[in-house]
Amino acid sequence: MAVTLESPVRIGKLAIGALGTLALALGTLQAVVEPSLPLLQRDLGIGNAEGALIFVTLLITGAVVAPIAGKLGDRYGGKRVLVVLMTVVSAGGLFSSLAPNLPVLLLGQVLQGAMVGALPLSFILVRKHLPPGQTQVAVGIVSGLFTGGSLVGMLIAGPIAEGLSRHWMFAIPTIAIIATTLIVSRLMPDDPPAESDSRIDWLGVILLSCTLVALVLGFMAVTGGGLPPLAVGAVTVVVAALATGWVAVERRASSPMVDLRMLTTPAMWGSCVVTLLMSLGFGMAAYLVPQLFDVSAEGYGFGASSTDIGLFLVPATIAGVAAGAVGGIAARHFGPRAVITAGAIVTAATLIALASLHDAAWQLVLARTLIAFAVSVSAVALLASTATAVAAEDTGIATSLLVVTRVVGIALGAQIGAAILGAGTDPVSGLPAESAFATSFVIAGVIAALSLLVVRVMKKGTRA
pLDDT of amino acid 461: 41
CB 387 within 8 A of CB 395: yes
Count CA atoms closer than 13 A to 427's CA, side-chain side.
0
Residue count of the chain:
464
CB 341 within 8 A of CB 378: no
Which residues are paired to 4 by β-bridges?
194
The SS3 call for residue 432 is strand
Axis crossing angle, helix 132-163 with helix 166-187, rounded to the nearest 10: 150
Which residues are paired to 432 by β-bridges?
425
pLDDT of amino acid 3: 42
Residues 6+ apart with CB under 8 A from 352: 441, 442, 445, 446
pLDDT of amino acid 13: 63
Tell me which H or E stretch contains 4. Answer: strand 3-4
Across 443-464, b (16+ Cβ under 10 Å) vs e yields: bbbebbbbbeebbeebeeebee
pTM: 0.66
Axis crossing angle, helix 118-129 with helix 48-76, rounded to the nearest 10: 30
CB 258 within 8 A of CB 399: no
Which long-range CB contacts under 8 A does 101-109 form with residues at least 24 apart?
101/44, 102/44, 102/46, 102/50, 102/54, 105/40, 105/44, 105/54, 106/53, 106/54, 106/57, 108/170, 109/33, 109/54, 109/57, 109/58, 109/61
CB 54 within 8 A of CB 74: no
In tens digits, what is the pLDDT along the chain, a chain of 464 residues? 444 444 455 555 666 777 777 888 888 887 787 777 777 777 777 766 666 677 677 767 776 777 777 777 767 777 778 888 888 989 888 888 887 787 888 888 888 888 877 777 777 776 666 655 555 566 666 766 776 777 777 777 778 877 787 788 888 889 988 888 888 777 776 766 665 555 667 787 788 778 877 776 777 666 666 667 777 788 788 888 988 888 888 788 777 766 777 777 766 777 888 888 988 999 888 888 888 888 876 777 788 876 787 788 778 877 877 776 677 677 677 777 788 888 889 999 999 999 888 888 899 999 999 998 888 888 877 776 776 666 666 666 777 777 778 877 887 888 788 888 878 877 777 778 888 888 999 999 999 998 888 877 665 444 43
CB 119 within 8 A of CB 403: yes
Q: How far apart are CA 131 and CA 135, in angstroms?
A: 7
Q: How far apart are CA 324 and CA 342, in angstroms?
A: 15
pLDDT of amino acid 1: 41
pLDDT of amino acid 20: 76
